[in-house]
Chain A
């Protein structure tokens, strides 16, 4: 059975007022894929708090993002995040930020082009308004100017 994380969060943070999760009951926005993934420029964004080399770390309620070169190696990457166990991602970032795997899938032709750079932020942002109104529009603008065809999002 899938774990129910909303009640678990309430329990784990029981010292605080219950968090009001976003509940969207509308039909979500929709843009059809214009071409198969094998012909598409696919971008990656991960919320696991991945940092590249000497990039400044994130902080609580941080609605900024970092650009991660797609050829970055394990040694180039660090993590700043308070909301998940980072041990495995520190050993192999591909658990939550699959740069190496997407490069391989690009080489195999499964993906037309793996967009460079990839995007990273720290997803533990309590303010949904900040995500919707500050972070998300900036990401959308970046993706549009990079002529990205499709976006893969990976939480952590």
Chain B
């Protein structure tokens, strides 16, 4: 079992490296997108998809699937990148990001893209959607799980806290929220724009099981997903401390990379850095 885990995490690391390259290729080619918040969430998505999600690329709408909702829709290149690695999309489709043709619009569209169950782009809605899918699974008596990735700035949205109450009230132990806590949003640092205060205490006071982790530490990510699944009393949230732009030295911790495409030169430099890692 342990060996399996090590092998899985090794695969997840390789996957994350490929994802990072594709995220940069997509945003570079499209001359747009949000690479910073994609790179901060990459390791979380790689572990979730490679180790936990029960899905079938041959049957994206398989009724027994686990659900993943990207509530922070602007990070969709990271989602496309993992869907390429999982076989839902093909490698060549990175060229279609934000293009009129193809299946990779600027924000998630469930109509266009296999493996995506819900559109997003307007922030604050994904946790409610996850609750709905999780309630349906409960009603059906299945053990399907609903995962949702939230941005830290997104937590300003009131609907998140409406949904947090709903999940706790209905004791949705099949809901797992992940906060990509990279501390930066469009206008600057989250602390300066509107502080989240004691985020752990906030979720705990809403009766959530809170797991605070380093969102780039594969052991911690893996363990947190296991513990979230094992916790039976209600919903779990992973507060994942991350670094915006993680993996590309000149992008790390820079709010400017929330919404900016790399130039030719920056792309070359970034890809070179990533090639040294794997």
Q: Do A and B come from one complex?
A: no
Interface residues of B (CB under 8 A from A): none
